[in-house]
Structure 1
């Protein structure tokens, strides 16, 4: 499966000298980048998503849809940090995205497993155990 991290840093960002075409250099929060990579790592081990991408169940842009799923998960965790997060809500997000993006209804229990893994990863990052 292709990488779904979406956390690439351009050479102009690394050198701190933006190219003339890209005068804006984004400041990347290393914790956010690490958390994004951790989310991508969990998703890359999910057989259901891997099959959906490899078989292009989401069309030719299946890889992009998997990257978007990763970004959506990070966004879900970062919204209103004071609000509690429930694994059932994350399961619903994963289930909905798999149906809408890949026309795939996964009923093997893996959505619940992936949601639990993502919750654990998030908790580790909240407590600095990454």
Structure 2
């Protein structure tokens, strides 16, 4: 598995998460909201890079939820945490198999999305 591609995929996924992007733009986590989003990318990468035998999506959802509450003072109840967690799990599983198709799709959609291109996460 290519670690830098996984990290890029995580950042691209978060760059398309509307709730997080609103939190960054509106500085719900303070003036260092963009930096906090970069820390979230690092935490997620660490989650996937850990030596656990199997990863649990519930743990990933909890990590995302806690980070949004603690870092951005935002309680997300729109179902997007579960969607983002599922997307990240799929991305990780594909990366483990050497399949980077989802990341390519994210790259194409990111560079085609005008509203998100000014707010990259983790870059």
Structure 1 residue runs of 5 or longer lacking an equivalent are: 1-29
How is 1:37-76 mapped onto 2 (pairs within 5 angstroms)?
37-76=8-47
Normalised by the length of structure 1, the TM-score is: 0.75
Shift of 1:31: 1.2
- The 5-angstrom pairing of residues 1-130 of structure 1 reads 31-81=2-52, 83-130=53-100
Q: Deviations over 1:50-97 (max 9, x none)?
A: 00000000000000000000010000011115x210111100000000
Gaps of 5+ in 2: 101-123
Bigger Rg over Cα: 1
For CA contacts below 8 A with separation 6 or more, give which structure has more relative contact order: 2
1:8 is matched with which residue? Answer: none
Q: Which structure dedicates a bigger proportion of its chain to helix?
A: 2
